[in-house]
A and B are shown apart, each in its own frame.
Chain A
Amino acid sequence: DTGVSQNPRHKITKRGQNVTFRCDPISEHNRLYWYRQTLGQGPEFLTYFQNEAQLEKSRLLSDRFSAERPKGSFSTLEIQRTEQGDSAMYLCASSSPLDSYNEQFFGPGTRLTVL
Chain B
Amino acid sequence: AQSVTQPDIHITVSEGASLELRCNYSYGATPYLFWYVQSPGQGLQLLLKYFSGDTLVQGIKGFEAEFKRSQSSFNLRKPSVHWSDAAEYFCAVALMDTGRRALTFGSGTRLQVQP
A-side residues, CB < 8 A to B, are: 4, 31, 33, 35, 40-45, 48, 55-56, 58, 91, 93, 95, 101-109
The contact sample of 5 A-B pairs, CB cut-off 8 A, is A40-B108, A56-B102, A101-B32, A102-B103, A104-B46
Contact A109 B43 (CB under 8 A): yes
Interface residues of B in 24-38 (CB under 8 A from A): 32, 34, 36
Do most interface residues of chain B lie in helix, strand or loop, or is the interface mixed?
Answer: strand
Q: How many residues of B contact A (CB 8 A)?
A: 25
The verdict on A102 contacting B105 (CB below 8 Å), with A91-B43, A108-B43 known, is no
Interface bits B79-100 vs A (CB < 8 Å: 1, else 0): 0000000000010101010001
Chain B residues with Cβ under 8 A from A33's Cβ?
101-103
Contact A48 B90 (CB under 8 A): no
The verdict on A43 contacting B42 (CB below 8 Å), with A101-B32, A101-B51, A102-B94 known, is no
Bound state CA distance, A101 and B32, in angstroms?
A: 7
Chain A residues with Cβ under 8 A from B45's Cβ?
106
Interface residues of B in 20-62 (CB under 8 A from A): 32, 34, 36, 41-46, 49, 51
Contact A108 B103 (CB under 8 A): no
Contact A41 B104 (CB under 8 A): no
Bound state CA distance, A108 and B101, in angstroms?
A: 20
Contact B107 A102 (CB under 8 A): no
Contact B107 A41 (CB under 8 A): yes
The verdict on A108 contacting B42 (CB below 8 Å), with A42-B108, A101-B49 known, is yes
Bound state CA distance, A55 and B43, in angstroms?
A: 24
Minimum-distance CB pairs A-B, first 9: A42-B105, A45-B102, A106-B44, A106-B43, A108-B43, A102-B94, A43-B105, A42-B90, A42-B107
Closest Cβ of chain A to B78, distance in Å, is 20
